[in-house]
Amino acid sequence: RPASSEKKSGVVTGNPVRENVMNGDRQKSLLTYGLRGELPVLALLGGSQGAQVLNKAMENALKNFTDIQILWQTGDSHLETYRKYETDRVKVMPFVDDMGTFYAAADLIISRAGALALAEIAACGKPSLLIPFAGSAGNHQTMNAESLRASGAAIVVNQKEFTSERLTDEVKQLMGNSQTLSKMASAARSVARPEAVDLIVNEIEVIAEA
């Protein structure tokens, strides 16, 4: 009988990301949203319920983004408040039907720091500005965000400090430096675990055969 210290107590697989999320086509994505190829795209991902802190900051910062296109996912309950800002350059939506198209169109993602969202952002190789939810259990969103920040893939801003002024400053600095965005994208890809599904399936098969 093997000693208990030799037993495998766990396997780090990462979070599974669907293949269609990772394989979006940028040009097709821009056409889908009616966006132009010559202007950068900022994408705000508020989650299924939306994130009012993110929405308010974006609302007050919009006037500063005259040369940036925006994909703004508000959450269903907040759509009516913000849909008035829809233009040919600003696309306001309650939720995202096709995450692959959404990520492919974006040059920079603004998001909360849920584990699945960060797995998708990393797998798609997208630079990100992360605002962890301050009320997450065990402060896990801050810890999630730290993994991308430490790799150089993300900028992390405390929720209390996420004002429209801070949003404007961070976005303009990042969007104005293509080399920085490229380095962040490479860093995101370096921490991605696209093989997570295969690892999980393999472990299930091992357990089933034990």
| pLDDT per residue as tens digits for the range 122-180 | 999 999 999 998 877 668 899 989 989 999 999 999 999 999 999 999 999 999 999 99
Instruction: Note every long-range contact of 135-141, with CB atoms under 8 Å and residues 24 or more positions apart, other chains counting.
Output: 140/115, 141/112, 141/113, 141/114
Mean pLDDT for the chain overall: 84
Quick one: pLDDT at residue 69? Answer: 98
pTM of the model: 0.81
What average pLDDT does range 66-72 have in this prediction?
97
What average pLDDT does range 177-185 have in this prediction?
97
Quick one: pLDDT at residue 22? Answer: 61
Side-chain-side CA neighbours of 19 within 13 Å: the count stands at 3
d(CA 160, CA 172): 20
Q: Which residue has the tokens 């962040």?
A: 184
Quick one: pLDDT at residue 4? Answer: 43
